[in-house]
């Protein structure tokens, strides 16, 4: 071990026998459950505030020595106290633990661990590095944090991230309860906490921009838009320096902690502030009727590959936390980020479930979107597991019952499980909806049949599972890729600002610039782009499944053609609030769609029915320009769909014309009334979408759908 300050204390010198502690609101007489000296308890893991002090517990199977360091200031290079844990007294099997009296919430701490270093065996201890507790509920980042010092030789204590002791029960939720919004009425809005309010024109004071508190102030905007859930890009504490030199990891897919909210998103400067400010945000969103879904990253960490920094897991128990290659010295890289979390190891499985349970029970979140979720199905050798234990642990955990679970059912190593993700309670990001709807509206050959299937819940993909209608999460754009504005404005990615010579980001964008690459003042092209954006939004919000829209798509937010803006913490990524005034017509269009979506009837959820059963029993028909004659050929670019909703007393006729000319569609005959036009994306606002009761009657037996347009007609039964 490295040389210690004079304030070193042995773990068994801290307290006397029979100390009574309180854990999880239950009093425990430790004299009957602990050794002769009160040396702490192995459970729960992390720093737990109990009566009279704090219990610290850490898992490390192969550590030889463990020290707990306590700090007075986050920038301190020398700890105020060093507590050496005695293996004989402070270790139970592979759990190192100690009770420290008089420690209070807000205390800063970290670990130093020594043990064998043998990379061929996957052992990577470095006693010079201060390590973050994997279960830390809060983190504090020094002003001069330097990621490089965590992988260069030498002591990095002064610049290392410290854990913060948090009393997770010390918060007044004021009766806050889960909203449990039905899936059929859920509309997800994917947003970045910082990017949503960081722009100088957000109308917020400088201290609130880019923070949880700033998001609270923009809740009225979300309410007016009509979304029912926000899906927040990663808020687990991440390393902003995990990126190319001179850039910043803006998206946050570089986790260091799975329990602590990112302090960089807090307007409060005290160490406990980020936890409480995050909870203030959740409570305020719930009061507004908006659920909170977290984008969680359990597939890798910010420690990177074998050349990466030692921040936490690597220096605590490398072989437990990561999947290693056969030589033991290199990391399996199914995430594309340098390493892969060993998610199906019993200890890591426990940590993942403990994390999810914590965010539900103590932070009141409503759901999770699992980044690269297919990695969670890989076993300890990296091979796909037919019944991955961690996925079933998550699904069967009682505390998570009713929580929304969304899987990004693929990984960076080619494992693609859309339609086949393991489990019964999981919903899936439907990447094929994105691709097929894009193909349809850019006029790709052979796209009609797939687009039709996506609009009715993708039975081609999910029918075999006999899952419910909302199994599919439908989206056309997300944080990864073009915004909707850029999807209709660029044929190619323009990622030069990322500093990788435009090599990064996907080349498979399925986009069309409508005739000009990038911004244009041509009114006809602008009109076409606006129409195409409305087509994509209408398809997403009218389809069967759970719709998701990307932050700013409702006002044509642009990233200037950058389809991989993960390192752009600037106006490329931020929500430009001036766009709301420029594109009021589009904003209104989305508001009207959301308002109608949130009123959907719930009978199929109250009495669960599979997607197959719903479609088989529905009164529906596919048409082309002629009734009952859909054109499924490869050269077709249009379709029409008729459905009757008995419970609503209405029938609908949907026209999707991706052809470059107007087409005349025959309309079904009605007995006693006429079709009314609710939506026509080719019309100028406010005629593009109207209130149902104001919808004009169609006086003819056919409808002329303009080129590249979506039309929805309705009639009462």
Query: Which element (helix H / strand E) includes 351?
Result: helix 346-361
Angle at 519 between CA 230 and CA 441, to 5 degrees: 65
Phi and psi (nearest 5°) for 385?
-100, 130
Who contacts 133 (Cβ-Cβ below 8 Å, separation ≥6)? 46, 47, 56, 58, 109, 110, 111, 163, 312
Nearest residue to 407 via CA among 365, 374, 367, 364: 374
From 67, 291, 317, 408, the catalytic residue: 408
**Quick check: 509 and 534 in contact, CB under 8 A?**
no
CA atoms within 13 A on the CB side of 611: 25
Who contacts 226 (Cβ-Cβ below 8 Å, separation ≥6)? 187, 590, 591, 593, 594, 595, 597, 598
b/e map 672-704, b = 16+ CB within 10 Å = eeebbbbbbbbbebeebbbeeeebeebeeeebe
**Quick check: 44 and 133 in contact, CB under 8 A?**
no
408 is catalytic: yes
> What whole-number distance in Å separates Cα of residue 293 and Cα of residue 275?
16
Nearest residue to 159 via CA among 236, 239, 271, 100: 239
> What whole-number distance in Å separates Cα of residue 664 and Cα of residue 168?
63
Helix, strand, coil fractions of the chain, as percent rounded to 5: 25, 20, 50
Who contacts 224 (Cβ-Cβ below 8 Å, separation ≥6)? 591
From 276, 295, 371, 680, the catalytic residue: 371
Structure tokens at 713: 């007609």
Query: Which element (helix H / strand E) includes 112?
Result: strand 108-114
Phi and psi (nearest 5°) for 128?
-85, -10
361 is catalytic: no
- The string of DSSP letters for 397-432 reads -GGGTT-EEEE--B-TTS-B-TTT-S-SS-EEE-HH
Structure tokens at 331: 């990391």
Q: First CA to last CA across the chain, in angstroms?
A: 80
Per residue, the 3-state secondary structure of 42-73, as one string, reads CCCCEEEEECCEEEEEEECCCCCEEEEEEECC
> What whole-number distance in Å separates Cα of residue 565 and Cα of residue 559?
8
**Quick check: 514 and 525 in contact, CB under 8 A?**
yes
> What whole-number distance in Å separates Cα of residue 76 and Cα of residue 672?
81
| Burial class of residue 635, CB neighbours in 10 A (0-12, 13-18, 19+) | exposed
Q: Tell how strand 91-92 and strand 20-23 pair up.
A: unpaired
> What whole-number distance in Å separates Cα of residue 142 and Cα of residue 108?
11
**In a 3-state reduction of DSSP, which class is residue 100?**
strand
Sheet of strand 8-10, all strands in order from the earlier edge strand to the far edge: 8-10, 81-85, 65-71, 108-114, 162-164, 138-140
Instruction: Cite the active site residues.
Output: 371, 408
């Amino acid at each position: 071990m490295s040389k210690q300050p004079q304030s070193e204390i042995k773990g068994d010198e801290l307290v006397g026998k029979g100390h009574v502690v309180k854990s999880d609101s239950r009093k425990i007489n430790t004299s009957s459950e602990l050794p002769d000296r009160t040396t702490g308890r192995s459970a729960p893991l992390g720093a737990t505030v109990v009566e009279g002090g704090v219990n610290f517990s850490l898992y490390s199977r192969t550590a030889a020595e463990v020290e707990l360091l306590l700090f007075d200031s986050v920038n301190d290079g020398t700890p105020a106290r060093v507590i050496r844990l005695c293996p004989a007294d402070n270790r139970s099997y592979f759990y190192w633990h100690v009770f420290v009296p008089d420690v209070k919430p807000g205390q800063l701490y970290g670990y130093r661990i020594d043990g064998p270093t043998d990379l061929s065996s996957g052992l990577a201890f470095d006693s010079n590095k201060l390590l973050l507790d994997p279960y830390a509920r809060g983190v504090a980042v020094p002003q001069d944090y330097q990621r490089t010092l965590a992988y260069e030789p030498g002591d990095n204590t002064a610049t290392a991230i410290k854990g913060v002791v948090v009393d997770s029960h010390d918060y007044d939720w004021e009766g806050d309860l889960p909203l449990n919004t039905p899936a059929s009425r859920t509309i997800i809005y994917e947003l970045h906490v910082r990017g949503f309010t960081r722009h100088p024109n957000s109308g917020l004071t400088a201290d609130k921009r880019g923070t949880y508190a700033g998001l609270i102030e923009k809740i009225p905007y979300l309410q007016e838009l009509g979304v029912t859930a926000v899906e927040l890009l990663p808020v687990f504490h991440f390393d902003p320096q995990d990126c190319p030199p001179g850039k910043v990891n803006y998206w946050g897919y570089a986790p260091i902690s799975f329990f602590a909210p990112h302090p960089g998103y807090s307007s409060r400067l005290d160490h406990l502030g980020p936890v409480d400010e995050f909870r203030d945000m959740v409570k305020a969103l719930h009061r507004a009727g908006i659920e909170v879904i977290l984008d969680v990253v359990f597939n890798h960490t910010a420690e990177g590959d074998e050349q990466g920094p030692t921040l936490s897991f690597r220096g605590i128990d490398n072989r437990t936390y990561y999947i290693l290659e056969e030589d033991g010295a290199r990391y399996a890289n199914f995430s594309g980020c340098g390493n892969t979390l060993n998610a199906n190891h019993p200890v890591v499985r426990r940590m993942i479930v403990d994390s999810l349970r914590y965010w539900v029970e103590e932070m009141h979140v409503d759901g999770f979107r699992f980044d690269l979720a297919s990695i969670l199905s890989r076993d300890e050798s990296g091979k796909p597991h037919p019944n991955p234990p961690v996925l079933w642990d998550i699904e069967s955990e009682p505390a998570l019952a009713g929580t929304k679970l969304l899987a990004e059912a693929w990984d960076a190593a080619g494992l693609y499980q859309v339609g086949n993700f393991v489990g019964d309670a999981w919903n899936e990001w439907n990447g094929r909806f994105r691709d097929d709807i894009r193909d349809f509206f850019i006029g790709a050959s052979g796209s009609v049949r797939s687009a039709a299937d996506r609009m009715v819940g993708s039975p081609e993909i999910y029918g075999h599972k006999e899952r419910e209608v909302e199994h599919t999460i439908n989206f056309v754009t997300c944080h990864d890729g073009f915004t909707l504005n850029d999807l209709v404005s660029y044929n190619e990615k323009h990622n030069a600002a990322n500093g990788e010579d435009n090599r990064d980001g996907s080349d498979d964008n399925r986009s069309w610039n409508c005739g000009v690459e990038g911004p244009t003042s041509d009114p006809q092209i602008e009109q076409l782009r606006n129409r195409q954006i409305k087509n994509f939004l209408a398809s997403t919000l009218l389809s069967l499944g759970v719709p998701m829209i990307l932050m700013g798509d409702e006002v044509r937010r642009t990233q200037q053609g950058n389809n991989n803006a993960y390192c752009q913490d600037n106006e490329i990524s931020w929500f430009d609030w001036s766009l709301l005034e420029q594109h009021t017509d589009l904003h209104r269009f989305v508001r009207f769609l959301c308002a109608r979506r949130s009123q959907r009837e719930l009978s199929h959820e109250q009495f669960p029915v599979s997607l197959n059963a719903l479609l088989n029993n529905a009164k529906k028909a596919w048409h082309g320009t002629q009734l009952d004659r859909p054109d499924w050929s490869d050269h077709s670019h249009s379709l029409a769909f008729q459905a009757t909703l008995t419970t609503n007393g209405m029938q609908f006729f949907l026209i999707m014309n991706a052809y470059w000319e107007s087409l005349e569609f025959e309309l079904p005959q009605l007995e006693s009334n006429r079709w009314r036009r609710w939506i026509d994306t080719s019309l100028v606002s406010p005629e593009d979408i109207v209130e149902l009761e104001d919808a004009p009657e169609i006086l003819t037996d056919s409808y002329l759908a303009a080129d590249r347009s979506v039309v929805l007609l309705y009639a009462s039964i």
